[in-house]
Amino acid sequence: MESRSPVYSAATKQEKRYSPPWADLSIIGIAGSSGSGKTSVAMEVVKSLNLPWVVILVMDSFYKSLTPEQHVKAHANEFDFDSPDSIDFDALVQTLRDLKQGKKADIPVYSFVHHQRQEHTTPLYSPHVLILEGILALHDPRIMDLLDVKIFVEADMDVCLGRRVLRDVKERGRDIDGIIKQWFNYVKPSYKKFVEPQRSVSDIIIPRGIENKTAIGMVVQHIQRNLEEKSEKHSATLQELRRIASEEQLSPNVVLMPQTPQFIGMNTILQNPDTEQVDFVFYFDRLAALLIEKALDGTSYTTKAIETPQHTKYNGLGQEGVVSAVVVLRGGSCLETALKRTIPDCITGRVLIQTNERNEEPHLHYLKLPPGIAEHSTVMLLDSQMSSGGAALMAVRVLIDHGVAEEKIAFVTCAAGKSGLKRLSTVYPQVNVIVGRMEEEREPRWMEKRYLGC
């Protein structure tokens, strides 16, 4: 017997990383024969949950492009679409691994007319739960390792054939002879050889597909529990980060606006509840314009020699690269007037992050970023106020996931609490933060209500 190797204590360095719920993706695989009702089951599950972060990924998107000879065969119903060889499992595994790590993935688009993968792709980002649906969803061992729940949907083969005939005639305009030929030549043999064996490796078998309300209800409940766990974990991460951050110093990249008499004067007007909304908007726009001017000081410039109309030379500076903005909705939209005053044609992305008031958990609802954002020299992230800092953390993470380097992000906000700022700067110390008013204690978001009037 050998002596035990030394045991090292776990690293004591505290975890200063922020992990959004989509970096902890759960994947549910649904396999079953063609016509067994997999798609209906998956749709029913998503419909009952009705949450934007539960997404179905159909394996059909990962069909391999066919060669011209194969294409001819496919038209003669002589190509085996039911064999594992027809699926690009490597690409699928890579996609699932990326998503599992919280990264953005580009899902291929497959044309059933041309039997080719299209040029364009569909971006997929930030699902909390992904349902992978396909006849061979439980086939590849690499995928099996990534699946949290493995479901096999079962139906009588006669029913499957009946459904397939109806679907292919109605939706894909095919003739019955062809369908029957394909069924007996490929679909059924493939079922015996590849599909049915998945039954034994599944966790749950759902007989009678869509009609089985009890089984679907169970799956829905399972996902709901899973989402609740993720939500609790996410809130706990945020709480833990606040604790760690409270002992940290503010990063030097956090810049508080100089508190000049005019700046304090504007802040006084904004914070006075007696101020009329029309005045609030005016002074907010004026103050926000100064914040944006300040943020632009930190962007990249390069030497630029020019000639004046009097033909004298001047060695000045010019902006280097593209400066764009991403508005954190809804609060950030209040800064857009000021943004347009400074850069009228600023490329602007939008992201809607709503914070659950009960547990302070931010949720990403909507995302539209400009193309090529990763190449921009500076991306300003605009929000009217930072309260707990959770939405800011999430917004920064979204940009980083889309290839924007941390040091190229400038977070611009009119007011922030110190704890929120520390939380952001502890996790992302390279992010430049421009803040108009810093408070010891955080305050609820109220400025957007005053600006927008509701």
Partner 1 sequence: MSGTTEPIPSPAQGVGPVYRSDREKPTATVSKSISYENVHVLPQTPQLIALLTMIRDQNTSRADFIFYSNRIIRLLVEEGLNHLPVVEHPVTTPVGRSYLGVKFEGKICGVSIMRAGEAMEQGLRDCCRSVRIGKILIQRDEETCKPKLFYEKLPVDISNRWVLLLDPMFATGGSATLAVETLKAKGVPEERILFLNLIASPSGVTDFAERFPKLRVVTAFIDQGLDEKKYIIPGLGDFGDRYYTL
Among 6, 173, 371, 444, binds partner 1 (CB under 8 A): 444
Least distance to partner 1, CB of residue 308, Å: 5
Tell me the C-alpha distance between 27 and 247, whole Å.
Answer: 37
The smaller minimum CB distance to partner 1, of residues 131 and 270, is found at: 270
DSSP string, 73-87: HHHTT-S-TTSGGGB
Residue whose structure tokens are 């991460």: 237
Tell me the C-alpha distance between 342 and 78, whole Å.
Answer: 63
Does residue number 194 form part of the binding site for partner 1 (CB under 8 A)? no
Determine the interface stretch with partner 1 among 89-97, 137-145, 183-191, 266-274 (rule: CB under 8 A).
266-274
Least distance to partner 1, CB of residue 17, Å: 24
Within 8 A by CB and 6+ apart from 108, the residues are 61, 62, 91, 117, 118, 121
14: its two tokens: 């505290």
Within 8 A by CB and 6+ apart from 195, the residues are 31, 32, 33, 82, 135, 136
Residue whose structure tokens are 């908007």: 281
**Residue type, position 209, single letter:** G
Among 2, 303, 357, 454, binds partner 1 (CB under 8 A): 303
Least distance to partner 1, CB of residue 236, Å: 26
Determine the interface stretch with partner 1 among 63-71, 137-145, 317-325, 420-428 (rule: CB under 8 A).
317-325
* CA 337 centroid distance within chain: 27
Determine the interface stretch with partner 1 among 188-196, 202-210, 211-219, 316-324 (rule: CB under 8 A).
316-324
Among 93, 169, 282, 377, binds partner 1 (CB under 8 A): 282
Least distance to partner 1, CB of residue 399, Å: 21
Instruction: Map the footprint of partner 1 across residues 246-265, applying CB under 8 A.
Output: 252-253, 260-262, 264-265
Q: Judge whether 234 and 226 are in contact, CB under 8 Å.
A: no
Does residue number 443 form part of the binding site for partner 1 (CB under 8 A)? yes
Does residue number 313 form part of the binding site for partner 1 (CB under 8 A)? yes
Instruction: Map the footprint of partner 1 across residues 401-440, applying CB under 8 A.
Output: 439
Does residue number 378 form part of the binding site for partner 1 (CB under 8 A)? no
Determine the interface stretch with partner 1 among 146-154, 177-185, 220-228, 307-315 (rule: CB under 8 A).
307-315
Residue whose structure tokens are 């110093």: 249
405: its two tokens: 């380097």
Does residue number 276 form part of the binding site for partner 1 (CB under 8 A)? no
Q: Does a cis peptide bond (omega within 30 degrees of 0) precede residue 330?
A: yes
**Residue type, position 200, single letter:** S
Least distance to partner 1, CB of residue 397, Å: 24
CA atoms within 13 A on the CB side of 32: 30
Least distance to partner 1, CB of residue 452, Å: 14
DSSP SS3 for 12: coil
Total residues contacting partner 1 by CB under 8 A comes to 49
The pairing of beta strand 105-111 with beta strand 116-124: antiparallel
Does residue number 340 form part of the binding site for partner 1 (CB under 8 A)? no
Q: Judge whether 427 and 446 are in contact, CB under 8 Å.
A: no
Q: Judge whether 130 and 114 are in contact, CB under 8 Å.
A: no
The β-bridge partners of 385 are 415
Determine the interface stretch with partner 1 among 111-119, 127-135, 138-146, 296-304 (rule: CB under 8 A).
296-304
What are the residues binding partner 1 (CB under 8 A)? Answer: 252-253, 260-262, 264-265, 267-269, 271-273, 282, 286, 289-290, 293, 296-299, 301-304, 306-319, 341-342, 344, 439, 441, 443-444, 446, 450
